[in-house]
């Protein structure tokens, strides 16, 4: 059985979606309903988080739904794995991981997250609690990248 560090690294390498791919997918959608559908499909791209990692200690506080987030630094890159008990939140996690997973600290700090989220036009469509949860996930990743 792999160690936690090996498991995080292995699972994060299975998630290959990029911010450019996410942006391209959302540019092709004309309505919020289409974007919502795509968001749900993006959530299916997350690797399955084994139950043994769905622990209280990995929960992101500030999220209405349960969100488990684990990280590991490997070869100077931040490896992230995450999941949620809510399908829409899994989609939001995919959007965030596409921006930060397997990136160096310099790449993470240089990434214009606000521009990325504005291009996707998601925040305006989310409920305040979902938007706060998304920010909580991003804040946690930013803590890991310092």
Cross-strand pairs, 70? 81
Residues noted as catalytic = 63
* Cα(109)–Cα(134) distance, integer angstroms: 18
DSSP state of 80: E
In sign, the C-alpha dihedral spanning 30, 119, 103, 58 is: negative
């Amino acid at each position: 059985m792999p160690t936690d560090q090996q498991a995080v690294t292995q699972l994060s390498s299975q998630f290959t979606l990029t911010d450019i791919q996410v942006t391209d997918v959302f540019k092709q959608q004309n309505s919020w309903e289409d974007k919502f559908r795509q968001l749900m499909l993006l959530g299916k791209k997350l690797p399955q988080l084994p139950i043994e990692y769905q622990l209280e200690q990995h929960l992101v506080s500030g999220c209405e739904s349960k969100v488990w987030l684990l990280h590991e630094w490997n070869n100077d890159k931040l490896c992230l794995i995450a999941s949620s008990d809510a399908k829409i939140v899994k989609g939001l996690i995919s959007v965030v991981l596409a921006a930060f997973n397997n990136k160096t600290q310099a790449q993470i700090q240089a990434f214009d997250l606000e521009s990325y989220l504005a291009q996707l036009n998601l925040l305006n469509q989310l409920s305040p609690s979902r938007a706060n949860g998304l920010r909580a996930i991003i804040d946690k990743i930013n803590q890991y990248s310092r």
